[in-house]
Amino acid sequence: MTTATGASRPSTRTTATAERRRPSVGWRVRFGFLALIWGFSFLLIKVGTEGYAPFQVTFGRLLFGTAVLAVAMAVKRERLPRGARTWGHLAVAALLLNALPFSLFAYAELTIPSTLAGICNATSPLWGMALSLVALSEDRPTRVRVAGLGLGFLGVLTVLGAWQGFRSLDASGTAMALLASLSYPIGWIYVRRTLAGSGHSNLSLTGAQLLLATVQLAIVTPLFTSLPAGFPVLPLLAIVALGALGTGLAMLVQYGIVAEVGPTTAQMVTYFIPVIATAAGVAILGESLTWSTPVGAVIVLAGAALTQVKPRRR
């Protein structure tokens, strides 16, 4: 039986340790910051493609994002993961979660507004729900989640103006944005099946993943683009911000929020991104906005929220 004095000392040390580990900035502030920089990412992509080719925008984004994570790993003395098999899985994850969707969004925004790209990004939970019913046996369908799936895709049709025969939007650009949104849940399902429980930290895996995605774009970009004749300053600054803030720093903030409040709360940031992307596109870029865009976006977000409702345990 411990004495009062003996019990108080470890308690004090534990409290002090917890206070040191607790971030100085509250998770709600960091949550708002994450939603803001991810929402503005679509505007930054649009500005970047005004001066550089889409593959160049993606390469720059990955390069500066990797640099931020490399600094974070050096500060925390994290090492890159080991094992050829782990690196092989990370190469696939880098393609599905970074290289492919980032490039598709960059190409999509050549012909569609950034507001539409942000709304298409919000369909990722819908694609994830549809895929998990097939790929993940533990995700059982419920009436609420299936209803959310149907409601979400009804919202997509509203955004695209299905009753007008999709005449007001560029079909190829919209398709690329939707494919980019589909690539994310495919990538996460792959990661869940292959890298879960690997024993490596999230920072180590993410740093290696972004590094591999950068290498992939370093190989692809020269094959499809040529060196730019000039280096416009504003698009270049947009790419730097997109990589350093919207990719590297955003991932660090996201993992911090997940560690503090859990993935369920952290993933709610998805519902704020299209709102910010739409506001930024209209206010800063002067993009037009018809009634079907915000109405359809609300329906998409409502459906996505319903797909995240977990079944009650008996």
pLDDT digits (tens, 9 = 90+) for 158-172: 777 665 555 667 889
Which residues, 6+ apart, have CB-to-CB distance to 63 below 8 Å?
214, 243
pLDDT greater than 90 at residue 212: yes
Nearest alpha carbon to residue 35 among 209, 279, 307, 238? 279
Neighbour tally for 159: CB within 10 Å:
26
- Phi and psi angles of residue 63, each rounded to the nearest 5 degrees, phi first: -60, -50
Between the alpha carbon of residue 91 and those of residues 51, 195, 207, 209, the distances in Å are: 29, 12, 12, 7
- Confidence at residue 9, expressed as pLDDT on a 0 to 100 scale: 41
Q: Give tens-digit pLDDT for 33-70.
A: 998 999 999 999 999 999 999 999 999 999 999 999 99
Q: Which of 123, 208, 206, 197 is nearest to 159 (CA)?
A: 123
pTM of the complete model? 0.84
**What is the rounded average pLDDT of the residues 147-166?**
72
**Cα–Cα distance measured from residue 123 to residue 146, given in angstroms and rounded to the nearest whole number:** 14
| Neighbouring C-beta atoms of residue 270, cutoff 10 Å | 19
Cα atoms in the 13 Å half-sphere on the side-chain side of 76? 14
The model's confidence at residue 299, banded by pLDDT at 50, 70 and 90, is confident
Return the minimum-mean-pLDDT range out of 2-11, 28-37, 91-100.
2-11
Six-digit token string for 311: 């079944």
Taking only the tens place, the pLDDT of each residue in 125-139 is: 888 878 877 765 555
Confidence of residue 6 (pLDDT cuts 50, 70, 90): very low
With cut-offs at 50, 70 and 90, classify the pLDDT of residue 122: confident
Q: What is the DSSP letter of 199?
A: S
Q: What is the DSSP string of 190-204?
A: HHHHHTTT-S--HHH
